Amino acid sequence: MSSHKKFTIEERVRWGDVDAARIIFYGAYIRFFEYAETELFREVGLQYGVMFDELGIWLPRVHLECDFKRAARLDDLLEVSVFVKRFGARSMRLNFEVRRKDEEELIATAHFVLAVVDQETFKTVPLPAELRERLAPFAANHEHDD
């Protein structure tokens, strides 16, 4: 069994996140996932501005997949959790889970695959060891896959 932990933020479903039926619009989830991802990196000392400048890489999303299980509604307080499902040689996969605060039932799950590319050439490069090391407490595995 993995010893990883999930990083969780809270986010309120706001008027701009919902459709006419006051149910969250699917595109709002992408923003919530981005918030959780950004705060995870901040939590481990890898704020994007600093990390990108120091490591000379970008982390473009090359795949995104989301499953919607229940409807979130206007004013719901959501918990958006993220963890590293897998480190690849030149990429990583982040998994997301969305629940209403203090509830176990999942509202949505998702994953992003982030490629590691050189800032100047946009060619894939190996995942920096520092990135792997800092994110290790939030990783489902500590080895890498190709």
Domains of the chain: residue spans and CATH: 7-145 (3.10.129.10)
Position 1 scores a pLDDT of: 42
Per-residue b/e over 46-79, b at no fewer than 16 CB within 10 Å? beeeebeeebebebeeeeeeeeeeeebeeebebb
Position 3 scores a pLDDT of: 58
Position 50 scores a pLDDT of: 86
Position 141 scores a pLDDT of: 66
Q: Which residues pair with 68 in a beta bridge?
A: 108
Position 65 scores a pLDDT of: 97
Cα–Cα distance between 37 and 81 in angstroms, integer?
A: 9
The model's pTM is 0.91
Ranges in the chain, pLDDT < 70: 1-3, 141-146
